[in-house]
Amino acid sequence: MDGGTGSTLPSWARAAEPLVPSANIPAVVKEVRKALKEIQRASDEIARLSRKRTGREIGQQLLTLSTETRERARETSQAIRTAFASAEDGTADHATLTALSEEFKATLRRFQQVLVARDASPSA
């Protein structure tokens, strides 16, 4: 202690981070919308490349696009989960995040469909 004054707090009480995560919801929405556009662009690019003749260079481009897009999706999913943790049920922020989450899921489904179609094509 500090000589009996009792003003010394345990380290957990002085933590710089809040115990409940907080998020700037408008910033998260902006970040997620940007990520959704990038995922949609990647889906379009994969579909475009899939129509070309296969080759080592195209295969490498497809792999790179897929890997980068999956990483972007993981980061975006984490951002949405963190934002949900700080938004109370029934609030406007929660409703916004719910709609954004559904849009994110739909974008990921389209990305997955493009990959499945690529894998199923005879030229793959």
For CA atoms 27, 75, 59, 123, give the dihedral sign: negative
Residues 95 and 47: their CA atoms lie apart, in Å, by 33
pLDDT tens-digit readout, 75-120: 999 999 999 999 999 999 999 999 999 999 999 999 999 988 877 7
Q: Is the pLDDT of residue 6 over 60?
A: no
More confident residue, 121 or 5: 121
**Which amino acid type is present at position 115?**
L
CA 39/CA 123 separation, integer angstroms: 24
Contact 114, 46 (CB under 8 A): yes
Question: What are the distances in angstroms from CA 8 to CA 2, 27, 40?
Answer: 6, 36, 53
pLDDT tens-digit readout, 20-56: 567 799 999 999 999 999 999 999 999 998 887 667 7
| pLDDT digit string, tens, across residues 56-73 | 788 888 899 999 999 999
